[in-house]
Chains A and B, each alone.
Chain A
Amino acid sequence: MAVSDDDASGAVVFKRRTVIVDGPDPIDRHVGGQLRLRRAQVGMTQTELGAKVGLSFQAVQKYETGENRISASRLYQLARFLDVSMGYFFDGLDATGNPEEDAGSSDLTRKEASMVLGAYYGIKDPRLRSACLLIMARMAERSDEEA
């Protein structure tokens, strides 16, 4: 992926992204991460997967870190061996190619919300409940102001 930058005149200049200077491309890292997850799910080692597609385990490892890009034909092969659709490798990327909100954190947020609700309705006295609500609302307002 190319990265853009503005030069002195304000014109957008595209430069080629390199792994050494810029690190792995986030999309390549995401695809590699998905590959690693799926490989682990089916219980296949890097060596075993490499043997299936004619690669060394180091090459598989470089795909997983995003250090090496996976070609379209190789991705197709990997999808076949791992029994997933091609789209699986891009799951969790938004339209701009950035990883969407982390599934883990959204799960935790949901868990927290359900705990708060449980605790709130655990308070039997309605006056205490509304006092709690008021405190929470004030705290939220205050953190908005601080932000």
Chain B
Amino acid sequence: MAAQAPLCIAPATAPATPEVVCTGGDGCSYLRELSAIERIAGFDHSARRYAAAAARCREQGCRAGAARAPSAATVASAEAVPMRGIGGARKLGGERNVGHADNPVPFVRAAFIDILSDSEGNFVERRQLKPQSLPVKGDALGYLYRYWADLRGAGALHVSSIDTVHLARAGVIGSMHIVDVSSDDPNDFRFDLFGYAVPISRPERPRAYPVRIYADTTLRDYNTVRLTGVPQLHRIYCRLGDTKHHYTRLILPFLDQRDRVTRLCVAIRQERGNSVKIEPGQ
């Protein structure tokens, strides 16, 4: 029999970066996140083993460090992706967009956006896109969406069906949240898991995001997926305080044993210009 493989699952899509030093304060963030996902999926045995390995992990070449920043390849491929906009959203001037659902929209120049702003200079710009238009290969969100669609096709959209090997292959561990939406009141939605590599300070609940318009739009999108059971894909560009964020977000619903949507898997792909600090006065 061959020697045992290491416990850490290396994402197949991520480049090998043996020189990266583990950045987890009290153990490997990547393994701790794996442990949390296993616990949420109901696999306590493997959750404990991952947690134990995370506590031990002090080695170089940690996946947590590699996943902290998006690779150049990811950003480049994201820019070239032609995605399809959702019909029915309003143009900037308020004019209704009709009958363009099937027309490919060059993503960066798409005019169909929702914008909210407040008196403190914060704004949230959201463009809804079709998840089906995500590329099949070479894209983390595309891989994840297809995996979710396969599960749906097999009638296995339960949280316990989540296979961490697929998440590792997609390369979304660290940039993925799991949200508990079992409450009927969106204000009570809470994060079961908040991706360690997402550059926003972790709130306990989406309602607790410091910028109200951002919290409102986030909760609205989460609640829409909870009520409809249909995944949503958004490209989001926003200013929150002194930082601008730019990312693509895929929200996937998962069911409990009574087939109610009680958990959302929210995967984030950071885009170019994400986490940019704004100089005072700008």
- Chain A positions within 8 Å of B, measured between CB atoms, are 29-30, 32-34, 36-37, 39-46, 56-58, 61, 64-65, 83-85, 99, 102-105, 107-108, 111
Contact = CB atoms under 8 A, between A and B. Distances in A.
20 contacts: A32-B45, A33-B49, A34-B45, A36-B43, A36-B45, A39-B165, A40-B9, A40-B168, A41-B5, A41-B6, A44-B165, A45-B163, A46-B165, A56-B154, A58-B154, A64-B43, A65-B43, A104-B49, A104-B52, A108-B52
Contacts of B166: 45
Interface of B: 1-2, 4-7, 9-10, 12, 42-46, 48-49, 51-52, 55-56, 154, 156, 160-161, 163-166, 168-169
Given A43-B168, A107-B52, A107-B56, A65 B42 contact: yes
- Complex A-B, nearest 8 residue pairs according to Cβ-Cβ distance, in ascending order: A33-B45, A104-B52, A41-B5, A104-B48, A45-B165, A103-B52, A104-B51, A37-B46
A97 B122 CA distance: 59
B125 to A, nearest CB: 37
A94 B55 CA distance: 24
A107 B46 CA distance: 15
B103 to A, nearest CB: 35
Nearest to B48: A104
B9 A41 contact: yes
Contacts of A107: 52, 55-56
Contacts of A99: 45
A7 B121 CA distance: 73
A79 B156 CA distance: 26
Given A33-B49, A37-B45, A43-B9, 10 more contacts: A33-B46, A40-B46, A41-B7, A43-B168, A57-B156, A64-B43, A84-B1, A103-B49, A105-B52, A108-B52
A108 B55 contact: yes
A109 to B, nearest CB: 11
- Do most interface residues of chain A lie in helix, strand or loop, or is the interface mixed? helix
B229 to A, nearest CB: 20
Given A33-B43, A46-B163, A41 B4 contact: yes
Contacts of A58: 154, 156
A102 B47 CA distance: 11
A6 to B, nearest CB: 30
A65 B154 contact: no
Contacts of A103: 48-49, 52
Nearest to B56: A107
Contacts of B6: 41
B59 to A, nearest CB: 15
A30 B165 CA distance: 19
Most buried by A among B51, B52, B165: B165
A36 to B, nearest CB: 5
A89 to B, nearest CB: 11
B146 to A, nearest CB: 12
A57 B156 CA distance: 10
B48 A102 contact: yes
A33 B46 CA distance: 6
Contacts of A104: 48-49, 51-52, 55
Nearest to B161: A61
A85 B1 CA distance: 7
A56 B5 CA distance: 25
A29 to B, nearest CB: 7
Given A45-B165, A61-B161, A104-B55, A30 B9 contact: no
B1 A83 contact: yes
Contacts of B168: 40, 43
B160 A40 contact: no
A41 B12 CA distance: 13
A58 B151 CA distance: 10
Contacts of A44: 165
Given A29-B45, A104-B48, A111 B55 contact: yes
